[in-house]
Amino acid sequence: MAEPELFVVCKNCSAQVSPYVTECPYCGQRVRKRAPKIGPDGEPQERRLRRRSPKLPKLRPGEIPGIAPETRPWATALLLALGLVALVVSASSLTYYDLGALVLPIEGDWWRVATTPFIHDNLGYAFIALTATGIFGMHLERRFGRFVPVAIFVASGAAGAALSAAADVLPAVGANGAALGLLFAWLVEDRWAARRGQERGNDLLGVQVIAGLLFALSLATEDASIVAAVGGAATGAAAGLLLTAVRR
């Protein structure tokens, strides 16, 4: 008797994924139209009718046999690079206010709401915010392309900073709001996918810990604004709903 198939191979990234999912959890590529019906023995019913060994796609240029290629998240890397460059520059020559940090009442300098998420004067703050940006920016970029994480980062960071300026809760410096925007965009889209039966098996406890750290930065450092964090998270959640509607 033939053994049940333990995995299928994603045609987009060549990763081995469960035969019970409809989308590849690594790149988001749809691997089947709908989830299989499970029989009494716990095996997909359609597998009873026909089983065949998975066939790997042709190797891409420069690909090593047996190793699944990964799409390089260049857009997310650019966001991180801009944050690191601003951190180095503010520590050496220019002040972070000169670079565009939102520290004082805005007084017409609304361009600062777009620049302040990239600027940090605290190494610990920068490490937490940029690490979260890297994690969730990478996931969104691999699923939706390079434009999406950049747009969500900029929109969430700017919206949070603008809300903080309007509420006169300053300073509002750093990427806590922008990183929370990426996190909530990913989380909302992931949870809606689960409601449609596309459970991806992600570790939500780790997501909750990172979100808690980003919100706690507002208490741990003077630069981080809780209003910017809330505004960024709300903007990211709205972006996640939009991604869900587009993905349908």
Mean per-residue pLDDT, 213-221: 93
Given a contact cutoff of 8 angstroms between Cβ atoms, the answer to whether 2 and 20 are in contact is: no
Residue 26 has pLDDT above 60, yes or no: yes
Is 227 found in the same domain as 170? yes
Check whether residue 130 and residue 228 sit in a common domain.
Answer: yes
Nearest to 228 by CA among 164, 152, 156: 164
Judgement on whether residues 61 and 78 belong to the same structural domain of the protein: no
117 plus 167 within the same structural domain: yes
Closest CA to 183 of 156, 146, 160: 156
pLDDT tens digits for range 169-185? 999 999 999 999 999 99
Q: Supply the CATH number for residue 186's domain.
A: 1.20.1540.10
pLDDT surpassing 60 at residue 41: no
Domain boundary among 70, 88, 115: 70
Residue 46: pLDDT above 90?
no
Per the CB < 8 A criterion, the answer to whether 156 and 182 are in contact is yes
Number of domains in the chain: 2
pLDDT of residue 68: 40
* Residues 106, 205 share a domain: yes
49 plus 162 within the same structural domain:
no
> Tens digit of pLDDT for each residue in 89-128?
887 778 888 899 999 998 889 999 999 999 998 899 999 9
93 or 187, higher pLDDT: 187
Co-location of 116 and 235 in the same domain: yes
- Report the pLDDT value the prediction gives residue 203, as an integer from 0 to 100: 82
Give residues with Cβ within 8 angstroms of 78, minimum separation 6: 150
Q: Using pLDDT thresholds of 50, 70 and 90, give the confidence band for residue 22.
A: confident
Residues in the chain, overall count:
248
Residues 60 and 167 in one domain: no
What pLDDT is attached to residue 7? Answer: 72
56 and 87 inside one domain = no
Chain centroid to CA 238:
14
Range of the domain at 34: 1-70
46 with 119, same domain: the answer is no
**One-character DSSP codes across 22-52:** SB-TTT--B--SSPPPB-TTSSBHHHHH---
125 and 212, same structural domain?
yes
Up-side HSE of residue 201: CA atoms within 13 Å toward CB? 9
Last residue of a domain, one of 12, 38, 70: 70
> How far apart, in Å, are the Cα atoms of 151 and each of 28, 76, 161, 229?
19, 11, 15, 17
Q: With contact defined as beta carbons under 8 Å apart, do 181 and 232 qualify?
A: yes
- The string of DSSP letters for 140-174 reads HHHHH-SHHHHHHHHHHHHHHHHHHHHTT---B-S
Mean pLDDT of the region 186-190 = 95
Average pLDDT of the chain is 84
DSSP-based three-state secondary structure for 78: helix
152 in the same domain as 236? yes
Domain boundary among 21, 53, 70: 70
Q: Find tokens 């240029």 and name the residue.
A: 61
Comparing 247 with 43, the larger pLDDT belongs to 247
